[in-house]
Amino acid sequence: MKYVYFVVEGQHDIAAIGRILKVFHEAKQINNERNLDPFWRRLVPNRFPYKGYLLGRVPVPAFFQTKESSIAIHSSGGESDLIKTLKNTLNNLDQEELSAIALFCDADKKNAFDYFKELTEKLNDLPPFTNLSAPGQVSRTRPRTGIHVFPDNRQGGTLETVLLECASITYSDLLEEASKYIDNINQNYKEKWRPFDNLKAKVGCIANVLKPGKSNQVSIQDNDWICSKTEANPSLSMLKNFIEELLE
């Protein structure tokens, strides 16, 4: 069995990568601990609450299983904890058994290469990451490693940039209406928005039409943002190929 460990910034990333695994790799999500490969058992939290916060989300990774690979996708809860989550969890796992490790993050505050550079500097004590020279590249070492910066390892943006590009193919009518709505609402509502929050809002509008009352991640994992019709989109294709190379 190949063990693959991904760290992402949030739940939407898990939903998108999980969707790629399900659609293009026939992966199944493991929903019951009994069916989980024992390799990952230490990653299943066994205490609550965390930091005393009763409303906190249980920081359990999402687990997926393909014929050849067992994949854990771990949300760090944000950019600032990405490295901490990766290093602590790797230290708690049998690293020799891992066949691939990857980080996924957004180019929403820095350009993709600067962010990649910053991450690799922080990872210089983790040998698998010292061989990387560019975002999106997968090292051919064991374990295979890589850092993917959304949307396409070059431009600024986030996962939502990719999703909206896909929506322009499968939900073009909804995208058009959502864009009109978001673009035309009173500017007062947008005062506290961070860069790229308008993209998140557009994804939220479409998701709420497709899955009323459900969270964006439910729509991302169930609807056709990521599917065979959108796989030719350059950003999605880059992400799909990156994952494929890690799983090889």
Partner 1 sequence: MIHIEELVIHKYRNLHNLKLQQLGQFNLLVGSNNSGKTSVLEAIELYCHPLDIRQFISTSRGRDRIFGPARTPLLDSIIWMFPATKNSKAENNKRENIYVSGIHNGRIFKISAACVEMTVIEPDNEQKDYYYSANEEELVNDSSVDGGRAYKVILEFQNSDNNLKNEKRKREYLLADYKPLFTRDNQDNIFKLYSTKFVTPVDHRILPISARLISKTIESGDKPNIIKLVKLFDHNIKGIEILSTDHPRPYPVPYFNHKKLGFAPVSVFGDGLRRALTLASALLQCRNGVLLIDELETAVHVEALEHVFTWLINACIQYNIQLFATTHSLETIDAVIAAGEKKNLLERFITYRLENKENISTAKRFSGKALHELRNELGQDVR
Position among 34, 38, 48, 125 found at the interface with partner 1 (CB under 8 A): 48
Can you give 1-48 as a three-state secondary structure string?
Answer: CEEEEEEECCHHHHHHHHHHHHHHHCCEEECCHHHCCHHHHHHCCCCC
In the bound state with partner 1, the residue whose beta carbon lies nearer, of 80 and 188, is 80
Cβ contact 110:118 at 8 Å: yes
Q: Taking contact as CB under 8 A, which single stretch among the options 19-27, 81-89, 124-132, 164-172 is the one that binds partner 1?
A: 81-89
We find the least distance from the C-beta atom of residue 40 to partner 1, in angstroms, to be 10
Residue 181 in contact with partner 1, rule: CB under 8 A: no
Position among 26, 35, 45, 142 found at the interface with partner 1 (CB under 8 A): 45
144-163 residues in contact with partner 1 (CB under 8 A) are none
Per-residue tokens: 193: 């928005």
Phi, psi of 149 (to 5 degrees): -110, 115
240: which residues sit within 8 A by CB, 6+ positions away? Answer: 20, 24, 231
DSSP 81: G
Position among 41, 109, 214, 229 found at the interface with partner 1 (CB under 8 A): 41
Residue 172 in contact with partner 1, rule: CB under 8 A: no
We find the least distance from the C-beta atom of residue 95 to partner 1, in angstroms, to be 10
In the bound state with partner 1, the residue whose beta carbon lies nearer, of 84 and 109, is 84
The size of the interface with partner 1 (CB under 8 A), counted in residues, is: 22
We find the least distance from the C-beta atom of residue 89 to partner 1, in angstroms, to be 7
Question: CA 112, 58, 223, 102 torsion: positive or negative?
Answer: positive
Position among 32, 34, 51, 121 found at the interface with partner 1 (CB under 8 A): 51
Please list the alpha-helical segments (H only) found in 171-233. Answer: 172-184, 197-210, 216-222
Residue 244 in contact with partner 1, rule: CB under 8 A: no
Residue 47 in contact with partner 1, rule: CB under 8 A: yes
Per-residue tokens: 67: 């014929």
Phi, psi of 99 (to 5 degrees): -100, -20
Q: How far is CA 51 from the centre of its chain?
A: 24
Q: Taking contact as CB under 8 A, which single stretch among the options 19-27, 40-48, 120-128, 207-215 is the one that binds partner 1?
A: 40-48
58: which residues sit within 8 A by CB, 6+ positions away? Answer: 45, 48, 50
Residue 94 in contact with partner 1, rule: CB under 8 A: yes
Position among 43, 126, 169, 174 found at the interface with partner 1 (CB under 8 A): 43
Which residues are near partner 1 by CB under 8 A? Answer: 41-48, 50-51, 58-60, 81, 84-85, 87-89, 91-92, 94
